Chain A
Amino acid sequence: MNSRVLFVLCAFAALLAYPWVGGKFGVDLVNKIMIYAIFALSLELLVGGTGLVCFGQAAFFGIGAYATVLLSPTAEAGSLCLLLLASALMAGLYALVVGSLSLRTKGVYFIMVTLAFAQMAYYVVHDTPLGGGTDGIYLNVKPAMGQLIDLEDPLVMYQFTLAMLVLTFGFLAVLLRSRFGHALAGIRVNEQRMRATGFATYPYKLAAFTLSGTLAGLAGFLFAVKDGFVNPEMMSWHLSGAVLIMIILGGLGHLRGALIGAFAFALLQELFKSEAVFGALAKHWHLGLGLTIIASVALLPRGLVGVPAQIRERLIGRSSRRAETPEVNHER
């Protein structure tokens, strides 16, 4: 079995087993990280898969979260399936609108436009009564699927999140091997050649953008349900930056990079926030984070996923590095 597939399967097995060794805090933290991993996977489809650098992914995440709370009934448990679908679709709808307006642009311009549209969504929930303002809104009762799935139980919530993560990962792995996924890869490498060959590239990009937004909305749904609370900071551009860093840190072009990156980022955050390690400087944890971001972009061009190869190159020497057969399709 492929070592990469093995790695991913082991990771999922470890996540499944974790609640038996982790305490309450640990389970809550890992649950949060898994949600970030889904969020990161959604962006990986765009950036690593299609070459579209979006700096506004938090908008779709936030819309998924806000939709969950706003569409939930006030006094009883909403339907899990319906809410999940509705939230994800609302996020996807905004992605469709933003995509159609911004995908005609390229490069830096595209980065700026996506950031601006995310800010638009931020201001809607921040300034207008729709979003409950800076205080945010509470989710009174978590959605349930009859008696089967009760998300008030942290363990069930954890397992549900894990299930969603595995499904998302599997779906993207299959998608990126399909004709659609290969077309996206071609667009990423050389859009001109794709057009010259006969691919109308705009519909592909728009589809990828919309799908990516929908998956980010799914992550938002999970986040809202887990904490029972949403606030405008879920749409902050700092979150857009954070998820971008996650996939770079993990390694672009690899689905498992999104997983690794989400964990690395979240753990780094916890480290820098820890007063035990940093004492008084802990409240200025953004400093450590900022320096880490700069260092990792500068020193780890292929992200953490590329570290084994980098070490191998150092040890064995560049000349005898065997030419790796790169895969067209996304590596898992």
Chain B
Amino acid sequence: MDLATFLIQCLNSVQYGLLLFLVASGLTLIFGIMGVINLAHGSFYMIGAYMAYALAPVVASTFGGGFFATLVVGFALSIVLGYLLEWAFFSFLYEREHLQQVLMTYGLILVFEELRSIIVGDDVHGVEAPAILAGTLPLGDIMTYPVYRLFISGVCLALALGMYLVFTRTRLGMMIRAGSTNREMVQSLGIDIQFLYRVVFAAGVAIAVLAGMVAAPVSSVYPGMGSQVLIICFVVVVIGGIGSIRGALLAAMLIGIVDTFGKVLLPQAAGVLVYVLMALILLWKPDGLFKAG
């Protein structure tokens, strides 16, 4: 493997890792704050990707907008979706056992998949990157790297940074952190914990949807993508350690590297490699790389 190819795979690893980190963050956020394990989180990613495909013509004809307009519209829709879902469904899951949450959200996956099948069908679709981002950057003499992939990494980084700042620097973030450790106390302080949870949930959904939308031009849009990303997110959390953001980032990067280089070097074993990585890490650290913190 020459330097240019190596560099390309490194950049791909980072891009994939950051995307995983973003989606996994949404999952851990909802679990960490509200104690709900949401299997349908992968479905939001899938919904995002299908939105990128299905909304584009609608946005083009109504507003005359392009890719970015679709992103904005999709993002707004996802917040509404998240808000409604929390109110109608997830708020009932908070007090339940994990097993019940697992099963109910699993049922939700089936519902989402079929609704998508009924509304948009089961075909695989491609989504075009917007013209400004469709170019490439030169890498060395012969190779080039797609600008769009750098854009994805950029968006993920920006969102991650944004989340970090909200959590640590804003009052909202402080309330969220307080609410996760002591629900009753936060309520007695007059803060509407229900509203808080709704906001957090909507944010989690919006992040996953946005990730799906942004990733669509690169990963294409297909029915099984939700389940696939969900399970990999689980592996991220398992490797990283439950409740650890640092761990999730490191784990996502590791998975990005193993998966990307694996596909190039050992294409047949590529699917298994991530799990072998997980098994090895569990051998070494049964609770994952970092404990909650």
Q: Which residues of A contact B (CB under 8 A)?
A: 47, 53, 55, 101-102, 104-105, 107-109, 111-113, 115-117, 119-120, 123-124, 126-129, 237, 241, 244-245, 248, 284, 286-287, 289-294, 297-298
Contact = CB atoms under 8 A, between A and B. Distances in A.
Given A101-B283, A284-B118, A293-B110, A112 B99 contact: no
A280 B236 CA distance: 39
A292 B108 CA distance: 10
A94 to B, nearest CB: 12
Contacts of B237: 109, 112
Nearest to B242: A109
Given A120-B276, A287-B110, A298-B104, 14 more contacts: A104-B286, A108-B37, A108-B98, A109-B238, A111-B37, A116-B234, A117-B279, A119-B231, A123-B272, A126-B271, A248-B103, A290-B109, A294-B108, A297-B104
B63 interface: no
B235 interface: yes
B231 A297 contact: no
Given A116-B235, A117-B279, A111 B107 contact: no
Contact of B107 (A109, A117, A126, A297): A297
A243 to B, nearest CB: 11
Contacts of A124: 272
B98 A286 contact: no
B196 interface: no
Contact of B268 (A101, A120, A128): A128
Q: Could you say which interface size class chain B belongs to? A: 35 or more
Contacts of B31: 108
Contacts of A248: 99, 103
A241 B98 contact: no
28 contacts: A53-B98, A101-B283, A102-B282, A104-B286, A105-B286, A108-B31, A109-B237, A109-B238, A109-B287, A112-B234, A116-B278, A117-B279, A127-B272, A128-B268, A244-B99, A244-B102, A248-B103, A286-B113, A287-B110, A287-B114, A290-B109, A290-B110, A292-B107, A293-B106, A293-B110, A294-B111, A297-B103, A298-B104
B5 interface: no
Contact of A47 (B99, B270, B275): B99
Contacts of A112: 234-235, 237-238
A124 B102 CA distance: 25
A127 B98 CA distance: 32
Nearest to B105: A294
Nearest to A111: B102
Contacts of A127: 268-272
B117 interface: yes
A241 B105 CA distance: 11
A interface, over-half SS = helix
B110 A53 contact: no
A129 to B, nearest CB: 8
Nearest to A116: B235
Interface string B259-293: 00000000011111001101100110011100000
Nearest to A124: B272
B118 A294 contact: no
Contacts of B99: 47, 53, 244, 248
Interface in B98-156: 98-100, 102-104, 106-111, 113-115, 117-118
A244 B107 contact: no
A108 B115 CA distance: 28
A173 to B, nearest CB: 23
A119 B104 CA distance: 21
A113 B238 contact: yes
A252 B83 CA distance: 33
Contacts of A115: 231, 234
Which 3 pairs, one residue from A and one from B, show the smallest C-beta to C-beta distance? A290-B110, A293-B107, A120-B275
Contacts of A292: 107
B271 A287 contact: no
B68 to A, nearest CB: 34
Contact of A284 (B100, B114, B279, B288): B114
Nearest to A122: B271
Interface in B41-97: 92
Contacts of A291: 107, 111
Nearest to A293: B107
Contact of B279 (A55, A101, A129, A298): A101
B274 to A, nearest CB: 8
B252 to A, nearest CB: 15
Nearest to A281: B118
A55 B99 CA distance: 10
Contacts of B106: 241, 245, 290, 293
